[in-house]
Chains A and B, each alone.
Chain A
Amino acid sequence: MSRELFKFKGGVHPPGHKSESNTRPIHAAPLPKKLVIPLRQHIGNPAKPVVDVGDRVLKGQMIAAADGTISTAVHASSSGTVTAIDLQPVPHTSGLPDLCITIETDGRDEWIAHTPLDYRAMAPTALRMQLRDMGLAGLGGAAFPSAVKLDPGATRPCPTLIINGGECEPWITCDDLLMRTHADEILQGVAIMRHLLGSTEILIGIEDNKPEALAAMQAAATKMDFAVEVVAVPAHYPGGGAKQLIETLTGKQVPSGKLSTDIGIQVFNVGTAHALARAVHHGEPLISRLVTVTGHVLRPQNFEVLIGTPMHTLITLAGDRDGTTGVLMGGPMMGVPMPNLDVPVVKATNCILVKSNELFPPLPKALPCIRCTRCADACPAVLQPQELFRFAKAGDFGRAQEYKLFDCIECGCCSYVCPSHIPLVDYYRYAKSEIWAHEKGKRASDLARERHEFRLFRLEREKKEKAEKLAAKAQATRAQAAQDQTRRAELAAEPAAEGTAPSDADAKKALIAAALARAQAKKAEIAPKNTDNLSPGTQHEIEEIEARRAKIRALARQPLETEEKP
């Protein structure tokens, strides 16, 4: 199979460091005492808890349901008791906690009843809903809910399906090991994807630094009853990025701002395919994954880890050493520094990379940019990083967007090659978040303005209604009073006054007279009634009270004695 490959622009060649961890077989990490399972492990809405504190849960039981379409469920990774549903540290650089379900494991690891799915007999929508409820998310690092990606959508079918076995970041080897040991199951997952997407062209891209994985996947591919091409791609960072892999295999570029499905291509990680096969053929929801533990540890290797396992247990398993300066989740180019080691392994955790000063020397201080454009030469998105850097630094976010800031995939190639050692990706992240915050603020102020304008409108409307009501009432009262007047006039006046229509002036006079009478009555009510003809006893009381009041008034007029300061 000599498929014509294309080259994507830019890219770098950092040292691979794959051999440290890809020589040992996969080991299953032992059951931890406590599992801390975050509800937000995927892109989209976090899952909503469906269990309470104190509930006993079984392995594979749904503990939080998907919330909406772009969401997926969360399951218990082992049997035990739910001890808390609260904020716990999660694997995010900020160190901010997020809502998690904590399970104390009972050691029995008891599975809930689960059956395979007959995916060919199920309606596609029903199958996708089921997959959503089985917690399937992309295992390549982004953790996008897979059920959404398995919907070919308006362009049914999706002609090209690409399976990503690239794993271009240094140090990470979990996909490599998965392909070597579970190639058949991965291909089973591919078959299910093909069924849902209706793809006719199926490609599996694997970097050429993984010869064993290529061989294993090739052997598994030949067993399939549909055409699937296993292609070796050059080992070139970031060749494992979805956009770059698409360009390498097909020569096509995903249009800016659009999805790959808009050009008829969908990409899935090999781990996702494997998880899909487990879900469909064994009824197992996503509760574990392979994690590479490598770097400054005694025995770098891959573990089969339950979601929710605290990271420190894995580092201890791999043999922790002195001189650790930090831990990354992911690789050295795009990894996220962990705030502490109690954070749990989540669906997006592909690697735990332990740092030391020898392996990861402290980054030198940045010098000014000399516009050498090595960054532009290295950028796979063909951007001008030195211009974006200038705009981000100056706060000129408009120009940064004009120069396509949001097409940056944050791969780190630019920072890697910069002779001045400027942390370029950090500036772009800052610019992007400033722009998002600004847009959020703009939306909020637009909403506030709408509400304010509606409020003004509502007040106006109420005022108008009130005025109308009053006018109507006045009209009615006037009419009534006029009627009374006419009746009185009819009774008291000479027949000569008969036939005189009540005039407005008469009606008004009647209204005023009635109002005056009412006012006088009210005054009489509250006025003191017995100030005349007082008895001598009461008069004496009054005189006493008056005398007391006069005394107090005299006292108040005297100046206060001031205290002298010693």
Chain B
Amino acid sequence: MPAPFILDRTSVTQVMAWVLVALLPAIATYVWLFGPGILVTLSLATVTALTAEAAMLKARGYPAKPFLMDLSAVVTAWLLALSLPSLAPWWLIVTGTLFAIVVAKHLYGGLGQNIFNPAMVGYAVLIVSFPVQMTHWAAPLELTSTHLTLAQSATVIFGGDVSKSTLDAVTMATPLDALRTGLLRQLTVDEVLTEPIFGHYGGTGFEWLAAAFLLGGLLLWALRIISWHVPLTFLAGVWLTAGFLHFYDAGRFGAPWFHLFAPSVMLGAFFIATDPVTGATTPRGKLIFGLGAGFLTMAIRTWGGFPDGVAFAILLMNLCAPLIDQYTQPRVYGEAK
């Protein structure tokens, strides 16, 4: 039995639990703005994640209870669910979650051993394989006349064959989608921004969601669960790249604040890029990681094939993390300068 014989009162469960708590403002905002559909998605993802985790642990010969209690699977499930459209069919959520937990996490070695962020892997698989279903974003309640209740949302999600007219009534392209489509139609940014989906900074409703994620992120930072390195540089990367492009041609590139106040950016900056297992571990490394992810997000949004680049940007930086770590080792006490 080795020293030390006292431990700080901390645990993986505690860390993960705080992340979940920090997501609650955003979930509440989501429900307020877009209706209760997200709760169905969240529950479905959570159940799938825990079941998949338990099954994989058993298959790998590990005791299930301590690992299920560490809540890491629940965090993955919630992050994925919040990245997916809230009215997407149930099998989309299940597929994504299964991919995240089984393939991205356990097939790579389980807790602490995965190279890629599991939630982002799940998202990437879905956006590439099922692009249509990934557009079933609920419209902001401000803008639609049809408001779905919890039961109705569940029906839509589990319904499978929902008529197109019903879907059209309740779904709407996201602001990023709208901007992209508009720009492809050769409209200028200002012309696109006149559409009702766009609010003060970001999109209607979406900017409030982004603010809620920001609030949760600041909570995590205040509790010292995450450090400032990755969120700050991620946001800086997005803002600087967008600002540079916007400065270059304001008609073709959205304003920096618009890109910054997308919920995906805030979620990515504070909750996803800060994932300790898959990110860089040295202080300087974290700065490079955040900056790179921010820049890549904007690059993919502007020149890539997808409206939002957060997931792929993070996956690309996950690839670079070990290399970044190796070259940013800090100077040890007593090491020659």
Contacts and interface: CB of A to CB of B under 8 A. Distances in A.
Interface of A: 8-9, 12, 14, 170, 243, 247, 253-258, 326, 328, 330, 332-337, 355, 360, 363-365, 367-374, 376, 380-384, 386-387, 403-404, 407, 412, 415-421, 423, 425-426, 429
B281 interface: yes
Nearest to B329: A384
A423 B329 CA distance: 23
Contacts of A423: 2
B5 A355 contact: yes
A334 B334 contact: no
B336 A371 contact: no
12 contacts: A255-B334, A257-B334, A363-B7, A364-B7, A370-B72, A371-B112, A380-B333, A381-B334, A384-B281, A412-B4, A416-B6, A418-B10
Given A371-B277, A404-B332, 14 more contacts: A332-B6, A334-B4, A335-B3, A364-B7, A370-B72, A371-B276, A371-B279, A371-B281, A373-B276, A381-B333, A384-B282, A415-B4, A416-B6, A419-B15
B128 interface: no
A419 B281 contact: no
Interface in B1-56: 1-8, 10-12, 14-15
Contacts of B279: 371
B334 A407 contact: yes
Contacts of B66: 365, 367
Given A367-B12, A370-B277, A407-B334, A170 B6 contact: yes
B15 A372 contact: yes
Interface string B269-285: 00000001101011000
A326 B1 CA distance: 11
B7 A404 contact: no
A387 B325 CA distance: 10
Contact of A415 (B1, B7, B67, B282): B7
A333 B4 contact: yes
Of B2, B110, B336, chain A has the most CB atoms within 10 Å of the CB of B2
A545 B187 CA distance: 133
B70 interface: yes
Of B14, B70, B110, B281, chain A has the most CB atoms within 10 Å of the CB of B281
A326 B12 CA distance: 28
Given A370-B276, A384-B281, A419 B10 contact: yes
B196 interface: no
Of B4, B8, B67, chain A has the most CB atoms within 10 Å of the CB of B4
B94 to A, nearest CB: 26
Contacts of B276: 370-373
Contact of B113 (A332, A368, A387): A368
Contact of B333 (A337, A367, A382, A418): A382
B28 to A, nearest CB: 27
A225 B48 CA distance: 77
Interface majority SS on A: helix, strand, loop or mixed? Answer: loop
A421 B281 contact: no
Contacts of B67: 367
A420 B335 contact: no
A382 B7 CA distance: 20
A12 B8 contact: yes
B158 to A, nearest CB: 34
B307 to A, nearest CB: 31
Given A416-B6, A419-B12, A253 B334 contact: yes
Contacts of B70: 367
Contacts of B325: 387
Interface in B75-129: 110-113
Q: Which 3 A-B pairs have the closest CB atoms?
A: A412-B4, A368-B112, A256-B334
B334 A417 contact: no
B330 interface: yes
Contacts of B1: 326, 337, 363
B3 A333 contact: yes
B7 A421 contact: yes
A334 B333 contact: no
A14 B6 contact: yes
A407 B329 CA distance: 15
A421 B5 contact: no
Contact of A425 (B3, B8, B14, B277): B3
Nearest to A330: B3
Interface string B317-336: 00000000100011111111
B276 to A, nearest CB: 4
Of A254, A365, A415, chain B has the most CB atoms within 10 Å of the CB of A415
Interface residues of B, number: 35
B275 to A, nearest CB: 9
A20 B14 CA distance: 31
Given A367-B12, A370-B112, A384-B282, A332 B5 contact: yes
A420 B4 CA distance: 14
A368 B6 CA distance: 19
Contacts of A335: 3, 5
Contacts of A257: 334
Nearest to A429: B2
Contact of B8 (A330, A332, A372, A416): A416
A426 B333 CA distance: 21
A373 B5 CA distance: 21
Nearest to A328: B5
Nearest to A243: B333
Contacts of A364: 7, 11
A248 to B, nearest CB: 13
B63 to A, nearest CB: 9
A326 B332 CA distance: 36
Nearest to B63: A365
B190 to A, nearest CB: 45
A105 to B, nearest CB: 33
A322 to B, nearest CB: 20
Nearest to A355: B5
A368 B111 contact: yes
A419 B11 contact: yes
Contacts of A374: 10
B14 to A, nearest CB: 7
Contact of A334 (B3, B14, B281): B3
A256 B336 contact: yes
B281 A407 contact: no
Nearest to A377: B227
B8 to A, nearest CB: 5
Contacts of A368: 110-113
B335 A404 contact: yes
Contacts of A12: 8
Nearest to A334: B3
A369 B112 contact: yes
A332 B334 contact: no
A396 B4 CA distance: 24
Nearest to B336: A255
Nearest to B225: A372
A328 B5 CA distance: 9
Of B1, B14, B15, B110, chain A has the most CB atoms within 10 Å of the CB of B1
Contacts of B113: 368
A412 B2 CA distance: 10
Of B6, B8, B11, B279, chain A has the most CB atoms within 10 Å of the CB of B6
A12 B113 CA distance: 27
Contacts of A360: 5-6
A404 B329 CA distance: 11
A50 B163 CA distance: 101
Contacts of B112: 367-371, 420
Contact of B12 (A253, A256, A363, A370): A370
Interface in B280-294: 281-282
A563 B156 CA distance: 94
Contacts of A373: 276, 281
A256 B337 CA distance: 11
Nearest to B331: A382
B311 to A, nearest CB: 21
A338 to B, nearest CB: 11
Interface in B58-77: 66-67, 70, 72
